[in-house]
Each structure stands twice: as structure tokens, then as C-alpha cells.
Structure 1
Amino acid sequence: MKNSGPAKQILGMKISRDRSAGILNLSHELYIEKVLRRFRVNDAKPRTTPLANNFKLSKEQSPKTAEERNVTLQGFVDADLGGDVDSSKSTSGYIYSIGGTEVSWMSRLQKCVSLSFTEVEYVAIAQAGKEMIWL
């Protein structure tokens, strides 16, 4: 065993750090490009998706209105990978609050068996997004 310095890649993910800001990033970019080439869709046009594990939406308000009420919708979502040992299904959960008061929450098994952490998180975020439409 020898010290080769800080890790730059692990399990196909690129590692980047900003120690001064306390940030550690893992990127799946190389893996995604490999999958796109494998399925011959690497020339497809990229699209951005509004997916994140923690999201916050705010309505612009005047200072006078902001003192009367806080209309911030905040949501958190998480999932495990294959947490149910009998079915290998993952558990998703989300919680939404408006102005600091919880208004919607859910925790249940996903309907499909996910094969990666990325897939299980996308399924969880999609389910939470469906709920957000109604809030």
C-alpha cells in the first residue's frame, strides 16, 4: 500500500473538493457519458431537471407583507436503497412545510425495485414532486 495523495475518483465517480468552503462533490458525468454512448444517444440534446434533495420556493413579497405572513414552501425528501429485506424495495419519504408548519408528509415502500442510489433518489424525488404540485 502506498499513499498516492488525495483520491480523485472512486467507483467511477470524479471527486472534487473545496476544503476552505467545506465542500465535497461527487460527479457521475463519466458514467453517464458511457451509458449514453452504450445506448447510442450521446448526441441527444441535454435538458436540465429541477431535482434536488432539499428544495425551497419563495414568493416575492414586500417588506410590509413579509412581516404579516411567511409563505415559504420547503420540502425534504430521502430514500434508502433496498431497505425492505423481503421485497428488496426501497422506502421513500418526504415532508413539506409552509411557513415552518408541516403540511404534508409521507413514508412508504416504492412500487419498483431500484438498482442504484441514483435511481432510488430519482423515484423518491418524482413522488415528492407530484405532491408539491398540489401544495
Structure 2
Amino acid sequence: MLVGYVDSDTTGDVDSRTSISGFLMTFAGGDVSWQSKLQKCVALSTTEAEYIAITEGCKKALWMRRFLEELGLHQKKYLVFSDSQSAIHLSKNFSFHSSENGADMMTKTS
């Protein structure tokens, strides 16, 4: 099964004030893809930075799933883990906090 682990570092780059997103993708018990990079926008909260990291991790997991299908390794689902309960809640119920609406716009433009 394809499994992803995501996190963000809100201290990130002190000069630009951007957070860092990171992810690790595993398949069949082995690491297959990983990345750590500055986010393309300045997050206004820790929840927003974590939500952006989850979004990037899910985009990569979806790409990896399609790639595995091209190889004949069909995956019905994939898992993405995060340690941020607030970002997980936000991803399940986007209207839970009105000030987070900017994250939706930022993740679609980045």
C-alpha cells in the first residue's frame, strides 16, 4: 500500500517567513519519494502551514498512485499521515474556521 507522511516546519526561512513542507512516500515497506521545500506562500497560522503540507503530500500520493497504476500495480486507496489534529480536522471539514479560507485560495494558485 502507498503510504505518505507529511509535516511542516513553521520556523522555515526566517528571512522570507515561509514555512517548510516535507513528505515521505513509502510503498511495499520501502521509501520511494521524499521532499522538503519552502512553501510558496506565507502561512498565517500553524494550521494553515500544516494544511498546505497535507495538500502537497496528497498531490504527490495521487501522482504516485497513478504512476503505480501505469506499472500495473493498482492501488484502491492510499494513506497520508499528519501529526496536526487541527489541519486534519480542517481537511475533513473545511468550513470549521472562516479565517482558514485563504489556505484554499493559496493552495490552488501555488
Q: Secondary structure at the match of 1:123?
A: helix
Tell me the matched-pair count. 64
For normalisation by structure 2, the TM-score amounts to 0.56
Structure 2 unaligned residues grouped into runs of 5+: 65-110
**Alpha-carbon distance in 1 for matches of 2:10, 2:36:** 14
Q: Do residues 124 (structure 1) and 53 (structure 2) align?
A: yes
Structure 1 counterpart of 2:34, from 105, 111, 116: 105
Q: Return the letter of the residue paired with 2:35.
A: M
Match of 1:76?
5
TM-align CA RMSD: 0.8
Whichever residue aligns with residue 77 of structure 1, its letter is V
Given that residues 77 and 128 in structure 1 are in contact (C-alpha distance below 8 angstroms), is that contact kept between their aligned partners in structure 2?
Answer: yes
**Which residues in structure 2 correspond to 1:43-54 (within 5 Å)?**
none
One-letter code of the match for 2:33? S
Show structure 1 runs of 4+ deviating over 2 A: none
Partner of 2:23: 94
Shift, 1:80, TM fit: 1.2
Q: How far apart in 2 are the matches of 1:118 and 1:109?
A: 16
The alpha-carbon deviation at position 82 of structure 1 amounts to 3.6
Match of residue 44, structure 2, among 81, 106, 115: 115
Higher RCO (CA 8 Å, separation ≥ 6 residues): 2
Gaps of 5+ in 1: 1-71
Deviation at 1:90, TM superposition (A): 0.3
Question: Would you say the 8 A contact 1:95–1:102 is kept in 2?
Answer: yes
User: Any idea what SS the aligned residue of 1:108 has?
Assistant: strand
Shift, 1:73, TM fit: 1.3
Counterpart-to-counterpart distance in 2, 1:113 and 1:125: 15
Rg larger for? 1
Q: Any conservation in 2 of the 1:83–1:89 contact (CA below 8 Å)?
A: yes
Contact between 2:2 and 2:61, CA under 8 Å: does it hold in 1? no
